[in-house]
Amino acid sequence: MNKILLVFLLVLGFCSHGLGDSCPWPNGTDKALHWWLDPNNLVTIHDVQLYDANGNPEYPVNLLGQLYMTINLTYTGPAITNFRLDEDIAEWGGFSGDDCKWSDLPTFGLLSNLDACAQGFHCPFEPGNHILQLETDFTNYDVIINLLKNDTPYELTYDLTNKDTGDKIVIHAQARCITQNPTSAPKH
């Protein structure tokens, strides 16, 4: 999972153009995480929550420390033992209020055709209700994170494919990301 995170942050750092001053925040991401699931008959996601290392709700997403995500879902398909993961990354921005859009960032295939079972998804993934708890530690990537535009929305798409059946589960998450510590007022 750390290899994926490093590639993700490198690509964002070198390709980032950020939120233009005239671009409104998309889908309410100025105030809350925006997520959705592509329509399918296999998964229902009931809730997604973000937390900091102390268990406090976290938003915007602070990329300077650890982030914990809890996903409450119900899976009704067959048990999955052979899961492929493909990830796509996009950044919100534009040059005027009329051309604001999500722009895909290149990953050069480094986030494609990954073994999802080796990337933090529990396999076999059995039918039933699940509370998934995922952790991402950003502390080792501060040099890269400092290259990212601060206070900007990004979208990450997880495309999970059951390699045995071809069934897909596609999850999108859009979030406002903080990449710099707030500056303190000068002392007098």
Each residue of 141-157: pLDDT tens digit? 677 677 778 898 988 88
Task: Reduce the DSSP state of residue 142 to 3 states and report it.
Answer: helix
Q: Closest by alpha carbon to 19, among 94, 99, 90, 106?
A: 94
Helical ranges in 41-153 per DSSP H: 142-145
In a domain, 71, yes or no: yes
Asked if residue 187 belongs to a domain, the reply is: no
Please check whether residue 65 lies inside any domain of the structure: yes
Residue 79 to residue 138: CA distance in whole angstroms: 32
Give the largest CA-CA distance in the chain.
66
In the chain, what are the helix, strand and coil shares in percent, each to the nearest 5? 15, 40, 45
**Rounded-to-integer distance, Cα 157 and Cα 43, Å:** 16
CATH of the domain at 167: 2.70.220.10
Residues 23-47, mean pLDDT to the nearest whole number? 93
- Kindly provide the b/e burial profile for residues 21-59, where b requires at least 16 CB atoms within 10 angstroms of the residue's own CB: eebebbeebeeebbbeeeeeebbebeebebbeeeeeebb
Establish whether the linkage from the previous residue to 78 is cis, with ω within 30° of 0. no
* Residue 186 placed within a domain: no
Query: Residue 43's closest CA among 133, 125, 165?
Result: 125
Positions of E strands within the chain: 34-37, 43-51, 61-62, 66-75, 83-93, 101-105, 114-115, 128-137, 152-162, 168-178
Query: Mind listing the pLDDT tens digit for each residue in 68-93?
Result: 888 899 999 999 999 898 988 788 98
Distance CA 11, CA 89 (A): 9
Q: Is the Cβ–Cβ distance between 179 and 145 less than 8 Å?
A: yes
Q: Say if 16 falls within a structural domain.
A: yes
Residue 185 has pLDDT above 60, yes or no: no
Domain of 112, in residue numbers: 2-178
- Report the pLDDT value the prediction gives residue 109, as an integer from 0 to 100: 81
Residue 20 lies in a domain: yes
Q: What would the pLDDT profile of 102-135 be if each residue is shown by its tens digit?
A: 988 777 787 789 898 887 778 899 999 988 887 7
Number of folded domains that form the chain: 1
pLDDT tens, position by position, 2-25: 555 444 554 444 444 444 457 899
35 part of a folded domain:
yes
In this structure, the dihedral spanned by the alpha carbons of residues 180, 31, 88 and 121, taken in order and rounded to 10 degrees, is 90
Q: Is residue 150 part of a domain?
A: yes
